[in-house]
Amino acid sequence: MPLTNPNELSYLEPGMLYQRIIEQSQYALACGALQPIETESTYLKFGEIQFLVRVLANLERKDHAKKNQGKTKDFNPFLPYDPDLLVGQLSETHVALLNKYNAVENHLLIVTRAFEAQESLLTPADFSAAIRGLEDIDGLIFYNSGKAAGASQRHKHLQLVPLPLVTTGVKFPLEPWINAILPLHSQQLQSLTIRELPFCHQLMALPPLLKTDSSGLTSLVHHGYLQALQSLKLIGSDSPTAIPKPYNLLLTREWLWLIPRSQKSYQDIEINSLGFVGAFLVRKSQQLEQITHNHPRGPLTFLKKVACPWS
Ligand code: AMP
């Protein structure tokens, strides 16, 4: 029997996102549109934190994926997107696509329907689509703003991975450090720092997503985002429409977090937003040893090297 693409009714009804991801993943796997990247997971214990390092099981597969991603200089995998990867429309301005080469299960891309540059400022429409995703899925939204922050595609895409990311009893490795400060400072948008982290960043508590009107929350998060960009000096206060310096943004149902970036990799290990919640992806097992053996503070040293010092 020929496969029928289930995405024909593509507008996402409230509460249907997770089911649609599962349904579309089955279809896309069967027809070859989805090409998961196999990895092996190792946990590195650092005090109470267990960092996750995924090692690619099949380097050729990933290299093939990379080659295909960059067919030509102007190749844009999201315009047009592959309809076999379409999960549905999140809003008038954003679609939800499966990540074609996913290392994390049910990894979603939240992509603008019209072209916008990846490093341009996030808009209320971007946050509205992201919050729509978080209403249905208790997940982590992330945004790699610019190549130095880990972005590989120039068309604007936020990403959503369901939580938990790890099997160690927390939602993600650094959760204990965030949970230790959030309850003490639950005042909305108050600027917080995680004292264990040796680099510049800003964390903000948000009101509970499921109990807050979504358009009010969208404006609040957008406002907090602009405030963080300015206080981290990623944009100047006199030119708020300029392209910001590179940064990673992470957003959950509870908080918003921005981290300025200096470079995309250290010792050939590339780090994107997921590195900052404690999840690394490396190409070969020697790189895992590089993280553990060469550095007494292990993963934190790598994060510090690709982030920026406090000024
Ligand atoms: P980033 O590398 O963070 O910019 O995220 C872009 C993601 O797009 C990568 O994780 C790729 O796996 C994914 N990707 C590349 N080509 C396609 C495609 N044709 N359709 C969907 N996802 C893709």
Query: Can you say how many angstroms the Cα of residue 274 is from the centroid of all Cα atoms in its chain?
Result: 6
Closest CA to 111 of 137, 135, 134, 93: 93
What is the Å distance from ligand 1's center to 53 Cα? 20
* Token code pair at residue 229: 């960009």
Beta 49-56 vs 279-282: how paired, if at all? parallel
> What is the full per-residue pLDDT of the chain (311 aa) written as tens digits?
556 666 654 789 999 999 999 999 999 999 999 999 999 999 999 888 999 999 999 766 556 656 655 557 789 999 999 999 999 999 999 999 999 999 999 999 999 999 999 999 999 999 999 999 999 999 999 999 999 999 999 999 999 999 999 999 999 999 999 999 987 776 788 889 999 999 999 999 999 888 889 999 999 999 999 999 999 999 987 766 789 999 999 999 999 999 999 999 999 999 999 999 999 999 999 999 999 876 667 899 999 999 999 98
User: What is each CA distance from 282 to 124, 154, 251, in whole angstroms?
Assistant: 34, 22, 24
Cα 127 to middle of ligand 1, angstroms: 20
Whose Cα sits closest to atom 2 in ligand 1? 152
Helix (H) or strand (E) holding 202: strand 202-205
Angle, to 10 degrees, between the axis of helix 17-31 and the axis of helix 124-136? 90
- How many distinct helices (H) and strands (E) make up the chain? 7, 14
Helix (H, G, I), strand (E, B) or coil at 249: strand
Helix, strand, or coil (residue 44): strand
Q: Which atom of ligand 1 lies nearest, measured to the CA of 99?
A: 22
Q: State the distance from the centre of ligand 1 to the C-alpha of 153, rounded, in angstroms.
A: 7
Nearest CA to ligand 1 atom 19: 77
* Residue of 97, 109, 145 to test ligand 1 pocket, by largest number of atoms within 8 Å of CB: 109
- CA–CA distance, 188 with 204 (Å, rounded to integer): 7
Residues whose beta carbon lies within 6 Å of some atom of ligand 1: 69, 77, 82, 85, 97, 99-101, 109, 144, 150-153, 157, 272
* Residue 177, CA distances (Å) to 8, 20, 192, 207 in order: 43, 33, 12, 19
Helix (H) or strand (E) holding 177, with range, is helix 175-181
* Angle in degrees, 0-180, between the axes of helices 214-231 and 124-136, rounded to the nearest 10: 120
Question: Whole-angstrom distance between the N-terminal and C-terminal Cα of the chain?
Answer: 62
Q: How far is the CA of 84 from the centre of ligand 1 (A)?
A: 14
The residue whose CA has the least distance to atom 8 of ligand 1 is: 99
